């Protein structure tokens, strides 16, 4: 057992991966009591040799980190790592109090609040869409009249495209408002009510990218650009990713510099960031920036494409250790594509094994089975499955991912699998 454990705030199913480079009994996990119950976290960790302790704590409440340390003055840590979006402020404050590297509480709170992030980064000269907090459909309609449709309506304090929708017609605003202010994240969030704060923003038409960066003391140690593809329709939910993006060096430099400008503006110290951008006429406009690991398998894609355990090196940074010089060029490209399934009860599934057998396919996953009900696609949580591939170039990776998706056929009571390319 190590003297000082690593504290993970928020539970994800990554213990097998972490066991590849962390010693036994080295982890303390902090998770909300409701989430522990709903996700059976204790069952998931029962056989893990990594976990020293599970602390059930309402860590998403204001002052939660300080309250925990007051109640548990015995807690120490060699690192504090947030593993989910809502964990970032608590993890940052714990890191400050325990004297280990972290984002800083101020930076974490700004990154968690899309409205404040816009104000701060705009003041620092970072291009942002025109944005305004709104409390009613009438305020959305007034914004549309002043700035021309279409607009984006979204929450200031949620994740995974929850409650986010493109609005083209002012007459649809009351219906869209009702849909966007209902936030159901199921087993991943506590049962208590959470404040709903909405933003309406200028809809920037352009190509979407994300920047993944490992940062120590405000300096970039690793940098990657991921190219994004969205589902068609009014909900900007990610359909696929490919990395590293096949873009010019000039655009890559612009995205890197823009991300560093965001981090300077909020005062981010150390950690990993996932910063999303829309590029219009060569200029990156900030979408949002998260101070934690990206989702959608992007870290696994990075590790496969670059041939380097970036996640392990991130943990070294958070423990105050010196990582090796990290790669700037990826020998290969990786892509992930999400499976599109018509809403309804699943009647049949075919082609999963055929997709897995294609050369270069890394993984094929479909969570629901025959008899399960697939919901309407309203957020990232509703995507039923994905396929990940590895290829020599980004273009080849995209083509292979599309070929693999074409092998899979899912029929529901709502119809056959729909092609969203």
What average pLDDT values come out for the chain (421 residues) when binned by 10 residues? 84 87 94 94 92 96 96 96 93 97 97 95 97 94 90 81 85 89 76 84 94 96 96 87 96 97 98 96 95 91 95 94 91 95 91 94 92 86 91 96 93 74 54
pLDDT at 155: 87
- Contact between residue 176 and residue 202 where contact means Cβ atoms under 8 Å apart: no
pLDDT at 295: 87
The whole-model pTM stands at 0.90
pLDDT at 182: 79
CA dist 26 → 45, 50, 299, 310 (Å): 13, 6, 22, 19
Query: Torsions phi, psi of 36, nearest 5?
Result: -55, -45
**48/112 Cα distance (integer angstroms):** 31
User: Which pair of tokens denotes residue 142?
Assistant: 């007034």
Q: Where do the structural domains in the chain lie, given as residue ranges?
A: 6-100, 130-202, 205-331, 336-421
pLDDT at 64: 96
Within 8 A by CB and 6+ apart from 18, the residues are 27, 50
CATH 3.30.450.20 fits 205-331, yes or no: no
In the beta sheet, which residues pair with residue 216? 219
In the beta sheet, which residues pair with residue 9? 30, 82
CA dist 415 → 291, 344, 381, 383, 419 (Å): 39, 8, 21, 16, 12
- Contact between residue 90 and residue 65 where contact means Cβ atoms under 8 Å apart: yes
Question: Which residue do the tokens 């939660």 mark?
Answer: 64
CATH number given to 6-100: 3.40.50
Overall size of the chain counted in residues: 421
**147/203 Cα distance (integer angstroms):** 10
Query: Which fold is adopted by the domain 130-202?
Result: Dna Ligase; domain 1 (3.30.1490)
**Residue 183, by phi and psi: left (phi above 0), alpha (psi -120 to 50) or beta?**
beta
> 161: which DSSP letter?
T
In the beta sheet, which residues pair with residue 223? 213
pLDDT at 420: 55
pLDDT at 273: 96
C-alpha dihedral (341, 344, 347, 350), degrees to nearest 10? 10
For residue 118, the tally of other CB atoms under 10 A from its CB is 23
Residue 88 C-beta-side C-alpha neighbours within 13 Å: 28
């Amino acid at each position: 057992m190590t003297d000082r454990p690593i504290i993970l705030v928020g539970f994800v199913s990554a213990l097998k991966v972490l066991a590849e480079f962390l010693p036994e009994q080295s982890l303390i996990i902090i998770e909300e009591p409701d989430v522990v119950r709903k996700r059976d976290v204790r069952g998931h960790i029962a056989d893990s040799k990594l976990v020293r302790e599970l602390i059930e704590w309402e860590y998403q409440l204001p002052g939660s980190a300080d309250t925990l340390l007051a109640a548990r003055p015995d807690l120490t840590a060699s690192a504090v790592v947030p593993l989910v979006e809502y964990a970032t402020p608590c993890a940052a404050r714990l890191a400050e109090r325990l004297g280990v590297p972290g984002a800083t509480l101020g930076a974490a709170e700004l990154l968690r609040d899309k409205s404040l992030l816009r104000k701060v980064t705009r003041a620092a000269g970072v291009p942002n869409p025109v944005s305004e907090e709104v409390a009613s459909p009438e305020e959305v309609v007034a914004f549309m009249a002043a700035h021309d449709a279409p607009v984006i309506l979204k929450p200031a304090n949620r994740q995974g495209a929850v409650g986010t929708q493109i609005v083209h017609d002012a007459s649809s605003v009351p219906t869209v408002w009702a849909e966007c202010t209902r936030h159901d994240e199921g087993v991943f969030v506590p049962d208590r009510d959470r404040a709903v704060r909405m933003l309406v923003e200028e809809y920037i038409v352009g190509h979407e990218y994300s920047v993944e960066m490992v940062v120590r003391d405000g300096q970039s140690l690793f940098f990657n650009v991921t190219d994004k593809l969205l589902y068609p329709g009014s909900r900007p939910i990610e359909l696929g990713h490919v990395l590293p993006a096949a873009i010019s060096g000039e655009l890559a430099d612009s995205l890197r510099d823009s991300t560093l400008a965001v981090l300077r503006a909020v005062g981010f110290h150390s950690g990993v960031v996932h910063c999303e951008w829309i590029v219009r006429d060569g200029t990156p406009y900030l979408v949002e920036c998260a101070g934690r690991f990206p989702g959608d398998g992007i870290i696994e894609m990075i590790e496969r494409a670059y041939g380097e355990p970036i996640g392990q090196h991130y943990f070294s940074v958070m423990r105050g250790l010196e990582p090796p010089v990290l790669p700037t060029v990826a020998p290969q490209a990786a892509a992930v594509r999400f499976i599109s399934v018509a809403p309804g009860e699943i009647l049949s599934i075919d082609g999963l094994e055929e997709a897995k057998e294609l050369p270069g396919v890394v993984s094929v996953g479909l969570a629901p089975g025959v008899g399960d009900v697939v919901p309407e696609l309203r957020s990232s949580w509703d995507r039923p499955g994905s396929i990940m591939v590895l290829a020599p170039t980004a273009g080849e990776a995209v083509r292979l991912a599309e070929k693999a998706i074409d092998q899979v056929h899912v029929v529901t009571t709502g119809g056959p699998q729909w092609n969203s390319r």
